[in-house]
Structure 1
């Protein structure tokens, strides 16, 4: 029994998106132009040729061209859904065709930002596997029912389909009506439609697992987010350009006052900038992961999240190639971690081409959650520590640059002696990286733990590994150490996880495990 009551009628008819796509695309371009204009005003020089009038005309021309381009793009962009593929045609002068086969679809993401919600529309984003330079396809203006119908058809498994007589009989018994959209796509909808798009309070079907991020965990995730540095850098860049908006005599007085105020005032402003950056990060995290919900039914994992921009992503569990546990410096002391998954369809750029599965949970809860969501990855992990020869490699790698920086700062800066703290911090952090590093295997899995800034733990099934290699540089040869690399498929380019300075016995153990002949049970899988 399928978990939806609507059915797409395949009409083999070319159709366009909702006409609001023109307005949505134009406003998106307007946002980019606005950001560019702000950047020019903040970072540009007031003496540049042309002045304000020149840039006003320039940006107005860009917007006009963008509007005309959007109309042409909407008119020439057409698509149709066949039995086993989605076909797309686009272009006015240079015409382009694209065919997305059902079996190549890795994940389908349904979003609804503020603009789309004004028109009661959604965006459909399709991730495909391998081949070519276009793993992603988007329809930015569809009605919820259209998006749901296309999603169901593209994710529909052949084995789950029922015979035509049974199908017809089932629909005769239900109360249905047919509606024709302005795009030409007809779909049938039952009197009580199972509209799973952006409806977090939907009644749960029997056999569906559900997990929600609690408000307390959401706040904890926001308070311990790792994006403070980026936000603080942005704030500092804006503050550094304030001089353009302050009279010269007042600016000179302020600079003189800051110089004579000494280190304490400078430290105060640094703290203020960091606090503002932290506040921006907190708000961004709450908006991004609010209403975070996971639903799993059979092989499909549905992830819903977002306050302003609502998103729904559907993943197939058997297309997930690895699981990553990430603990940043703020979360590790409290025992919190974020859980990411790598999949053949890739992921979002803001998540390092991964997909966030659980924004925040306790480390001790990970295995129980994986049992319900991805039972294959819920394995007991025991790590083999790195040999003692690796310790100095980890420490020297950070200590040498820190000593060089401290020497330069000490020579040129008035309070340069404070920089002697840098080598001590580097040595401690190198030791921390050493004790965190480890590797192990078992139950058809290999797991690797390492630290750059955050501590990362990756779990990879042997059957998902594309290649396992080792390298050895000149310095590693002195201690017979190696770096091991495990490569998997995630997107077009794939992804590689590495662990530096492992011993020869550890490397040989991993290679023997990886190349060992598969058991009968694994061959059946």
Structure 2
């Protein structure tokens, strides 16, 4: 574990303050309202919609076709602004040693009670405007939730830190750790160590390996509101270049297409750098007792906590360019997933392979296998046939309905040229085969997958929830199966499975995983009850803690 820099105490003066607040603040028993500036920010976020409504009037004030815009603008003033005021007035929250109670709603009142012991993470977000006004957004996440369970938008930034510390102190009391609660401040100061920080130079370097279409989407959205031809003509004609550009576009359409694609790639690359810097600027990860804490962000500063006991799996991600230079990203999969991060929380956005493994071992005991087993080579045939069939299903109707006067290349309608992608499809299937491997160890199951994004899943045995082997009708004809391993909090689109394993090997791996999980489970039952048999009397079986009734 790296030593903590000497200037860390000066770099984060708020940490000591929020630790000290645990013993002095107590419970927020009376209902509390959000910060009054919440009203101003909510009105501000609604103004872009009003501008879009009034845009026809702004562009052509004398037109007689602006009645609709005037009516919608009037409805905004009559209904939207009062609704914002009522929503603020009818929102309140309070915190007790047992629960967090949030009341909201104007006509349909909601009373949400979040048990203190179920709160997994209290995330504090401060965007640029919130930082200017000294306020923050508090997001409450619970175990097993697929979204934010509760949100306080906005409270004073000091109040946000106090809320987080009060909940932590109540959680310590609920666990019955009196000694730990009494010495919480000293333990936090002793156990808090910086694991990773990223200066601006490292963030810029990591952004250079990213690609994003975000700003491209923004550009095209803006062009939808204005006439792009008029903009281009106005800019280029002012410089006397419009005719020259027009001649190139019409005489060399292929060159124009290549230039457009090149410009899109450059903008996407620059967008990737911008998005990455905005997200991970001043990134810092540190260990706080049995939790990982991180803080990062340029425009929106986010502070979050990841309890180590809630981590279900580790995920190492890279891409061909990052891999060539030895750079990786480390994610963890937790019970309470964050939908904004696709079910995975990034704890190391960019680091070398050895550094990533060191950080991974801070979370779980990791020992990578010496060798991995590839899936069956028959997967190349299966993938090639499937992808080619999809391509044909898209192109053949286009060929049939292609108008006679539309673009023809070499006397052949354009969609036929799409079948030139077939060799690339074969190459893609081969790459998927070469990068799809798995390994089984005493401590867990390891899966490698991906072409443009390489993933390595590390699934500890004790975190297995479901594992099964399935076979489609086409796999059964080839003697193949798909081995799926599920853990709590798995994302919808990024999940660990081994596709096209020989059926006998898949069944053997299934039995091996089951035996290891059963052996671990029986050991825990024996440690808890003194007997390895799970068929015990009801009063002798180990039970999960029973939730106390809310106040």
Q: Say yes or no: TM over 0.5.
A: yes
- Output aligned runs, 1:44-443, within 5 Å: 51-52=65-66, 54-55=68-69, 57-59=71-73, 61-62=75-76, 65-130=79-144, 135-155=148-168, 156-158=171-173, 159=175, 162=178, 205-210=189-194, 211-228=196-213, 230-236=214-220, 238=222, 243=227, 246=230, 258-349=249-340, 351-372=341-362, 374-377=363-366, 379-380=368-369, 382-402=371-391, 413-414=408-409, 419=418, 421-443=420-442
Q: Where does residue 475 of structure 1 map in the other structure?
A: 474
**Cα 1:435–1:134 shift into 2, 3 Å:** closer
* 2:46 alignment partner, SS class: helix
Structure 2: how far apart are the matches of 1:400 and 1:82?
A: 60
The superposition leaves residues 450-490 of structure 1 with CA deviations (integer Å, 9 ceiling, x where unpaired) of: 12642222112222222112221121112211122222222
Q: Do the aligned partners of 1:135 and 1:492 also contact (CA within 8 Å) in 2? A: no
Separation of aligned partners in 2, 1:236 and 1:478: 47
Please give the alpha-carbon distance, in whole angstroms, between the structure 1 residues aligned to 2:310 and 2:278: 28
Q: Specify every segment of 5 or more residues in structure 2 that has no aligned partner in the other structure, as ranges.
A: 1-15, 529-551
Closer, same or farther in 2 for the Cα pair 1:383/1:492, shift >3 Å? closer
What TM-score does the superposition give when structure 2 sets the normalisation length?
A: 0.76
Q: Is the 8 A contact 2:211 2:268 kept in 1?
A: no
Q: Please state whether the residue corresponding to 1:205 is helix, strand or coil.
A: helix
Structure 1 residues 347 and 134, CA, compared in 2 at 3 Å: closer, same or farther? closer
TM-superposed deviation, 1:295: 0.8
Deviation at 1:274, TM superposition (A): 2.5
Deviation at 1:106, TM superposition (A): 1.7
Task: Answer yes or no: is the 8 Å Cα contact 1:487–1:494 preserved in 2.
Answer: no
- Distance change in 2, residues 1:223/1:311 (3 Å): same
What SS does the corresponding residue of 2:189 show, helix, strand or coil?
A: coil
Alignment-derived partner of residue 498 in structure 1: 497
| CA–CA distance in structure 2, aligned partners of residues 499 and 341 of structure 1 | 20
- Per-residue deviation, 1:376: 2.9
Aligned length: 480
Q: In 2 relative to 1, CA 146–249 (structure 1 residues): closer, same or farther, beyond 3 Å?
A: closer
1:215–1:160: structure 2 CA closer, same or farther, 3 Å change rule? farther
Report if aligned partners of 1:488, 1:494 keep a CA contact under 8 Å in 2: no
SS at match of 1:26: helix
Q: Using the alignment, how far apart are the partners of 1:388 and 1:11 within structure 2?
A: 62
Q: For structure 1, which segment, 265-274 or 54-63, has the greater mean C-alpha deviation from structure 2 after superposition?
A: 54-63
| Inter-partner Cα distance in structure 2 for 1:153 and 1:248 | 57
The secondary structure found in structure 2 opposite 1:346 is coil
Structure 1 residues 248, 90: closer, same or farther in 2, change over 3 A? closer
Structure 1 pair 14–334 and aligned structure 2 pair: CA distance change class (3 A): same
Q: Distance in 2 between matches of 1:492 and 1:394?
A: 23
Give 5+ residue unaligned stretches, structure 1: 172-192, 195-203
Distance in 2 between residues matched to 1:500 and 1:72, nearest whole Å: 53
What displacement does 1:391 show? 2.7
Cα 1:465–1:89 shift into 2, 3 Å: same
- Give the corresponding residue for 2:454: 455
Larger displacement relative to structure 2 (76-85 or 396-405): 396-405
Give the superposition deviation at 1:146.
1.8
Kept in 1: contact 2:435–2:448 (CA 8 A)? yes
Partner of 2:20: 5
Which aligned runs of 4 or more in structure 1 are off by greater than 6 angstroms?
247-256, 403-412, 491-495
